[in-house]
Amino acid sequence: MLKPSLLLSLAACWTHVLAVTVYGQEGVTQPSGVLATATATATANLDWLSNYAAYNNKTLTPPALPDPMPSTAFTIQVMNNAANVNGLSVQQSGDFFGFSIEMSVVQQVIGKNASFIAVPFLNLLATVADRAGRVRIRVGGNTQETATLVDSLPSNEMIAKDKENASNPTDTPILDFTAEMIYLMSNVSALVNAKWYLGIPFNDTSNLRLQIAEVADAVLGDNILAYQLGNEPDLYVSHGHRSSDYNQTSYYNEFGVVIDALNNDAKITKHGNLVAPSTQGTWTLQSVWDTGFLTTYQDAISVLSVEQYPDNNCAAAFPDAGFGDPVDPQSVFANYLTHASGQNIVNQYLSSTPLAAQYGKQFMMFETNTASCGGFPGVSDSFGSALWAVDYGLQMAYSNFTGALLHIGGQDVSYNPFTPPPTNLSSTEQWTVGPIMYSTLVLAEALGTSNTSRVLDTFANSANAYTPAYAIYENDVLARMVLTNFMTEQNGQGAYTATISVGGGDTGEANGTPSSVKVKYLLAPSVAEKDNVTWSGQTYGGRFQCDGRLSGTESIQTIQCDTTANTCQIPVPAPGVALVFISSDAQGVTEPSTTQTYSTTAVTKVKNTVTIDPSVLATSNGDSAKDRAEGSTSQGSSSDALRTAGVAPGLTLLAMFVAGVWVVVTAMRR
Ligand SMILES: *[C@@H]1O[C@H](CO)[C@@H](O)[C@H](O)[C@H]1NC(C)=O
Ligand SMILES: *[C@@H]1O[C@H](CO)[C@@H](O)[C@H](O)[C@H]1NC(C)=O
Ligand SMILES: *[C@@H]1O[C@H](CO)[C@@H](O)[C@H](O)[C@H]1NC(C)=O
Ligand SMILES: *[C@@H]1O[C@H](CO)[C@@H](O)[C@H](O)[C@H]1NC(C)=O
Ligand SMILES: *[C@@H]1O[C@H](CO)[C@@H](O)[C@H](O)[C@H]1NC(C)=O
C-alpha cells in the first residue's frame, strides 16, 4: 500500500492566535506549531477491510462493446449563439453537484466536534468549491427524522446513537445530537465556502422539535440554505413510521402544522426556506401537487425536491427483509453505462420541473447515488459510476433540475464519493475516494462560476446512448462541451472522434469554430477500474491513499482546429469524458493555474509551519478563483494546496492542516 508521507500544514492567523493542537499520525498531541512527522509505515494487512462495502475488492468485467457499434467518427453541429438554440436549460451554477451526508456519520466524515475537523474532508470540499465557487452539503437522511437536539450528552459527545431503537429496513439509528454539530458545520464554512441543508424532524408532528432550525439560524446565518421537512414521506407507511391510512393528504395536513409552528417560533429568524416534498417515487409528484401542496405552501418553500436512486441492493444488504434474491452486480453494470440511465430517472419529473420555474423555486435531486441500500460493490465504486454521474448530472441540469446531492453513507456502502478509514486505522491510513467523486469536479468545471450556464443535450451521433454530448452556453454563447464515451476499448475498438463544428454552413450563423480548443479528460483504463482515475492528469489516489487533495501535474490538451473546414476533431478514449473549452472566455477562466492556488507557503516534513498572508484571506471570501492571489503550494503537488475561504471578519482563526489527520481549530470573536 503506497503511503503518501507528504505532510502539509497551513496556519491561518488573523489578528492573534489562540491555542492549537494537532493530532498527528500517531495520535500524539503536539505542542502549538509543531507537527508530527508523518511516518511511512504501511505493512499492515488490510485484507479484512474488504468486508466493508466501502473498501470492497470486487472488480467487475467491463461489458462487451455494443452491438451494433455506434459510429466512432461523427460530427456535432452546434450553434454559437444561445438565441439560435431551442431547449436550453435554465441557468445553472457550478455547485450543481453537492453532497448529502447521512447524519449518523457526521463524526466519521466531517469531524468529531467543532474544534476537531477532518482535514481530508476540508481538502475534498475545497477541490469542489475552488471550481464551483462554493459547495452545497446536506446533513440528514433517514436519521434526521428522529434526531433530537439535546443540551448535552454523556462524555461530552456530539452525537449519540440509540441502535436498540433502530427502525426502517435500513436499520436507521435514532440520534441525539448537541449544538456542537451545528458549530462544526459553521467552522467548516469558515474554512471552505460550504453552504448547508439540514432536516427538521418530521416523525412526530404533535411533538415538534424545531430546535435544529432555531440553533442553525443563529449559528449558521447565511451558511444555512434551507431546511428539509420530511424525508421520503411516501415511505413512511412501509417503514412503519405512520399508520397504513397515511396518504398525500395526511402529509399535506402535517406539513401545514409544522409551517404554523415555524412561523410562531420567535427563535426562527428565516422563513420561506423549506425543502419538500422529497418523495422517492412511491407517490408521484403530481399526486402531491393534487392536494394543493404547492399553491398553499409556496411561500414556505424554496426548493422542490425529490430523491431517487436508479436501483437498489436491498436484497444483499438485508437478506432477511423479504427483498428476494441478491442481485449480481455484474448483471446490472451495463445499466449504468448508457445515456438512457439518467434520462430514465429524470423523465418522471419532466412535468414538474416547469412548475419549479413557474413558482420561482429550485428543483433538486436531494439524495441520489447509484443504488440505494448501499450500492453495488464493483459498480458503485467503479469508473463507470463516474461516467454515469457526469451524464446523469448533466441530464438533470438539461432537464431544469437546479442541483443534486450525492449521498454518503458509512462504511457499509460502496457508493461513497469519499470514505474515511475505519476509526482504529485513522492514524495510519488515509481516505478512500470513490470514482464518483470526480464527477463533481467535471460538473463544476463544465458549469463554471458565472451562474449563467445553460445546458443542451445535443443528442449526438444519432442520439446513440454510448456517446452522449452536451453543449453548455454561458452568457448566451457556446462555452464548453462535454463528450462521454461509456465503452471500454476492446480489440482496438471503442474510442471515438467527435468533429465539432460551430455555426457556419447553412446554420444561418457565421463560422464560429475557434482556431484551437482546450480539452480536459476524465480517464481510467476501463469502466471497471476502481483506483486509477485521473481528471486532467490529477488524481485523488487509490484506496486508503487520499488526504483530500489532488496530486500529479495538471495536463490540458490543446487541439488545433481546421478553420477552413470549420471543424475541431476531439478524440474521446474508451472509456472517458472530454470537457472541451470552446469560447476564449471559457478557455481563460478555467486555466487551472488561476483556479487552483492560494497564497500559501506549504511544507513537506522538512519544515513544519506555514502562514497565510492575512490580506489574502481577507479577500478570499469565496470569491471566484481569478480574484485570488497565486502562490506555490506543497512540493510535488503544485496546484492542490488546501484552500481556505470565507473567514468572517472579527474571527481569530488559527488552523493547522495535516495531511490525513485532524485539525483543531480555535476561533474567537473579538
Ligand atoms: C473534540 O474531539 C477531540 C477528539 O475526540 C477531543 O480530544 C476533544 O476534547 C474534543 N473537544 C471538545 C471541546 O469536546
Ligand atoms: C467554531 O466552534 C466553536 C465551538 O467549538 C464556536 O465557539 C465557534 O463560534 C465556532 N466558529 C464559527 C465560525 O462558527
Ligand atoms: C427548461 O427550461 C427552459 C426555460 O424555461 C425551457 O425552455 C426548456 O424547455 C426546459 N427544459 C426542459 C427539459 O423542460
Ligand atoms: C481494527 O478493527 C477491526 C474490526 O474490529 C479488527 O479486525 C482489526 O484487527 C483492527 N485493526 C487494528 C490495527 O487494530
Ligand atoms: C452565483 O450564485 C451564488 C449563489 O447564489 C452567489 O453566491 C455568487 O455570488 C454568484 N456568482 C456570480 C458571479 O454572480
**Per-residue model confidence as pLDDT tens digits over 47-77:** 888 899 999 999 999 999 999 999 999 999 9
pLDDT the model gives residue 3: 26
Ligand 4 binding pocket includes 48 (Cβ within 6 Å): yes
- Residue closest via CA to ligand 2's atom 6 equals 183
* Of 478 and 47, more confident: 478
**Per-residue model confidence as pLDDT tens digits over 4-50:** 222 222 222 111 122 222 222 222 222 222 222 333 344 467 788 88
Out of 20, 30, 113, 426, mutate this one to test ligand 1's pocket (max ligand atoms within 8 Å of CB): namely 113
Distance 363 CA to ligand 5 centre (A): 17
Ligand 4 binding pocket includes 459 (Cβ within 6 Å): no
Residue 346: beta bridge partners? none
- Residue closest via CA to ligand 5's atom 12 equals 450
pLDDT the model gives residue 429: 86
- Residue closest via CA to ligand 5's atom 13 equals 450
**Per-residue pLDDT band at 471 (split at 50, 70, 90):** very high
Ligand 3 binding pocket includes 353 (Cβ within 6 Å): yes
pLDDT the model gives residue 346: 98
pLDDT the model gives residue 591: 43
pLDDT the model gives residue 657: 39
Distance 43 CA to ligand 4 centre (A): 14
**Per-residue pLDDT band at 167 (split at 50, 70, 90):** low
Distance 597 CA to ligand 5 centre (A): 20
Distance 180 CA to ligand 2 centre (A): 8
Ligand 3 binding pocket includes 483 (Cβ within 6 Å): no
Alpha-carbon distances of 57 from 52, 230, 377, 378, 425, rounded to whole Å = 9, 36, 8, 8, 18
- Residue closest via CA to ligand 4's atom 5 equals 424
| Ligand with minimal distance to 623 CA | 5
pLDDT the model gives residue 427: 81
3-state secondary structure of 592: helix
What is the average per-residue pLDDT within 439-446? 98
- Residue closest via CA to ligand 2's atom 12 equals 187
Q: What are phi and psi of 457, to 5 degrees?
A: -80, 120
3-state secondary structure of 154: helix
Bond prior to 68 in cis (omega within 30° of 0): yes
pLDDT the model gives residue 224: 98
What is the average per-residue pLDDT within 527-540? 97
**Per-residue model confidence as pLDDT tens digits over 305-339:** 999 999 999 999 888 888 899 999 999 999 999 99
pLDDT the model gives residue 619: 22
What is the average per-residue pLDDT within 526-555? 95
Indicate which atom in ligand 4 lies nearest the CA of residue 48. Answer: 7
**Per-residue pLDDT band at 166 (split at 50, 70, 90):** low
Tally of CB atoms within 10 A around 90: 19
pLDDT the model gives residue 661: 43
pLDDT surpassing 50 at residue 607: no
Rg (C-alpha) for the chain, rounded Å, is 24
- Residue closest via CA to ligand 5's atom 5 equals 451
Please name the residue that has the C-alpha cell 418523495: 279
pLDDT surpassing 50 at residue 643: no
Out of 90, 92, 351, 455, mutate this one to test ligand 3's pocket (max ligand atoms within 8 Å of CB): namely 90
Contact (Cβ atoms closer than 8 angstroms) between residue 122 and residue 546: no
What is the average per-residue pLDDT within 105-117? 94
DSSP for 223-261, written as a single string: GEEEEEE-SSGGGTTTTTSS-TT--HHHHHHHHHHHHHH
pLDDT surpassing 50 at residue 244: yes
Q: State how far the Cα of 88 lies from the Cα of 397, in Å rounded to an integer.
A: 10
Indicate which atom in ligand 5 lies nearest the CA of residue 451. Answer: 1
pLDDT the model gives residue 623: 23
**Per-residue pLDDT band at 367 (split at 50, 70, 90):** very high
Ligand 3 binding pocket includes 357 (Cβ within 6 Å): yes
pTM: 0.86
Q: State how far the Cα of 384 lies from the Cα of 403, in Å rounded to an integer.
A: 21
- Residue closest via CA to ligand 2's atom 14 equals 186
Ligand 1 binding pocket includes 480 (Cβ within 6 Å): no
Picking from 16-30, 260-274, 543-557, which range would have the lowest pLDDT averaged per residue? Answer: 16-30
Contact (Cβ atoms closer than 8 angstroms) between residue 536 and residue 475: no
- Residue closest via CA to ligand 3's atom 3 equals 89
Out of 29, 115, 666, mutate this one to test ligand 1's pocket (max ligand atoms within 8 Å of CB): namely 115
Picking from 12-26, 552-566, 652-666, which range would have the lowest pLDDT averaged per residue? Answer: 12-26
Helix boundaries (H) for 577-659: 584-589, 592-595, 614-618
| Ligand with minimal distance to 43 CA | 4
Helix boundaries (H) for 63-132: 106-109, 119-132
Ligand 3 binding pocket includes 90 (Cβ within 6 Å): yes
pLDDT the model gives residue 561: 97
Ligand 5 binding pocket includes 402 (Cβ within 6 Å): no
Distance 65 CA to ligand 5 centre (A): 42
Picking from 22-26, 387-391, 549-553, which range would have the lowest pLDDT averaged per residue? Answer: 22-26
**Per-residue pLDDT band at 168 (split at 50, 70, 90):** low
pLDDT surpassing 60 at residue 640: no
Contact (Cβ atoms closer than 8 angstroms) between residue 228 and residue 197: yes
Distance 74 CA to ligand 3 centre (A): 27
pLDDT surpassing 80 at residue 660: no
Distance 524 CA to ligand 2 centre (A): 41
Distance 108 CA to ligand 4 centre (A): 16
pLDDT surpassing 60 at residue 205: yes
Contacts of 638 (CB under 8 A, 6+ apart): 553, 554, 632
pLDDT the model gives residue 161: 85
Distance 128 CA to ligand 5 centre (A): 15
pLDDT the model gives residue 352: 97
pLDDT surpassing 80 at residue 651: no
C-alpha cell at 64: 462487451
pLDDT surpassing 50 at residue 376: yes
C-alpha cell at 412: 457499509
Ligand 5 binding pocket includes 93 (Cβ within 6 Å): yes
**Per-residue pLDDT band at 247 (split at 50, 70, 90):** very high
Contacts of 633 (CB under 8 A, 6+ apart): 8, 597, 598, 600, 602, 639, 640, 641
pLDDT the model gives residue 170: 57
- Residue closest via CA to ligand 4's atom 7 equals 48
Q: What are phi and psi of 189, to 5 degrees?
A: -65, -25
**Per-residue pLDDT band at 436 (split at 50, 70, 90):** very high
Q: State how far the Cα of 321 lies from the Cα of 582, in Å rounded to an integer.
A: 52
**Per-residue model confidence as pLDDT tens digits over 405-415:** 999 999 999 99
Helices 119-132 and 180-189 sit at what angle, rounded to 10 degrees?
50
| Average pLDDT taken over every residue of the chain | 83
pLDDT the model gives residue 586: 84
* DSSP for residue 286: H
C-alpha cell at 330: 455484474
Distance 200 CA to ligand 2 centre (A): 22
Ligand 1 binding pocket includes 178 (Cβ within 6 Å): no
